[in-house]
Structure 1
Amino acid sequence: MKPDIFEKRITVSKEDIDFNGHVNNLKYLEWMINAAMEHSAKLGFTPEIYKKIGATWFAKSHHIEYKLPAFEDDKLIIKTWIDEVKKVTSKRKYEIYKNDKLICFGETEWVYVDYETHRPKKISDGVIKKYFKGE
């Protein structure tokens, strides 16, 4: 099965720029998490739906590597997808492009947890199937 790849286009705003004159490092993480949430919502998993099914996701770790800077008014494309699923965790990948060049990539390991207890919970097949397409 192939992952469902979500794409989001953004334009870098003045508020995204740090004292060095390029996009603030924390902004990339914010964009990645927002893209992940939008991807989930597109597939029918809004925060409200997760609450209804009694589960949610907690970030375990983030890894981001910066290759090239981005500046105000740059047009960027953020791509994200689920790369790997285990019993209670998944790895989500991210790539950010400017002018067809990869400028940043990252990965987040997410833990699927019970909404009430915050304890790890087995990821259901129904949830997994939404993030992957048949070949």
Structure 2
Amino acid sequence: MDQQLTSAATSHHHAIRVQPSDIDFMGHVNNANYLTWVQDAVLAHWRSIAPPQAVAEHLWVALKHEITYRRPAFLHDEVIATVILERIHGTRAFYDTIIRRGEEVLAEVKSSWCCVYAETLRPARIARDVAARFFGTTATD
């Protein structure tokens, strides 16, 4: 049976400052930039908790994003992307990301990612001890 790990994971807060290049013809952040922010936040979360060897040996590939836009972001806004790793299952990780400006929710994103070996780009299972770092528990079979 596949390894599955779920529990209350620690959230990770990733600060973002809106730049002129983020702004589209409508005067607010282009929707595509939110996906870049999610990717940056998820990868920062991985790098902040995973051991250096795991970071060096693995890459993450986005499989799916489901995004709900709530409010626009504007030039020079300071926003926070809060990522929560919901679960790990085999080679996949499932994240919730909430992008806020202060108390305002700008976007909510559900995403799934596949871990791959950096050298071969083949799918890689997340080692139990690495996964446990994100959840503060042990994996179950």
Which TM-score tier does this pair reach, normalised by the shorter chain?
0.7 to 0.9
Secondary structure of 2:129's aligned partner: helix
Counterpart CA distance in 1 for 2:98 and 2:67 is: 10
* Shift in Å, 1:45: 4.7
* Shift in Å, 1:64: 1.4
Seq. identity, %: 27
Evaluate the alpha carbon distance shift between residue 28 and residue 45 of structure 1 in structure 2; reply closer, same or farther with a 3 A threshold.
farther
Q: Which residue of 2 aligns with 1:33?
A: 39
Which structure 2 residues correspond to residues 10-49 of structure 1 after superposition, within 5 A? 10-45=16-51, 49=54
Evaluate the alpha carbon distance shift between residue 2 and residue 68 of structure 1 in structure 2; reply closer, same or farther with a 3 A threshold.
same
Q: Which residue of 2 aligns with 1:56?
A: 59
Evaluate the alpha carbon distance shift between residue 108 and residue 45 of structure 1 in structure 2; reply closer, same or farther with a 3 A threshold.
farther
* Shift in Å, 1:131: 1.2
Which structure 2 residues correspond to residues 1-135 of structure 1 after superposition, within 5 A? 1-45=7-51, 49-51=54-56, 54-133=57-136
* Shift in Å, 1:105: 0.9
Secondary structure of 1:2's aligned partner: coil
Counterpart CA distance in 1 for 2:125 and 2:119 is: 15
Counterpart CA distance in 1 for 2:96 and 2:27 is: 27
Counterpart CA distance in 1 for 2:55 and 2:16 is: 27
Q: Is the 8 A contact 2:46 2:55 kept in 1?
A: no
CA RMSD of aligned residues (A): 1.9
Q: Is the 8 A contact 2:17 2:76 kept in 1?
A: yes
Gaps of 5+ in 1: none
Secondary structure of 1:104's aligned partner: strand
Counterpart CA distance in 2 for 1:104 and 1:66 is: 4
* Shift in Å, 1:49: 4.1
TM-score (norm 1): 0.84
Counterpart CA distance in 2 for 1:118 and 1:11 is: 32
Evaluate the alpha carbon distance shift between residue 94 and residue 3 of structure 1 in structure 2; reply closer, same or farther with a 3 A threshold.
same
Counterpart CA distance in 1 for 2:131 and 2:108 is: 23
Gaps of 5+ in 2: 1-6
Any idea what the Cα deviations from partners look like across 1:60-113, whole Å, max 9, x if unmatched?
A: 112211111111122211100211211221111110011301110112211122
TM-score (norm 2): 0.81
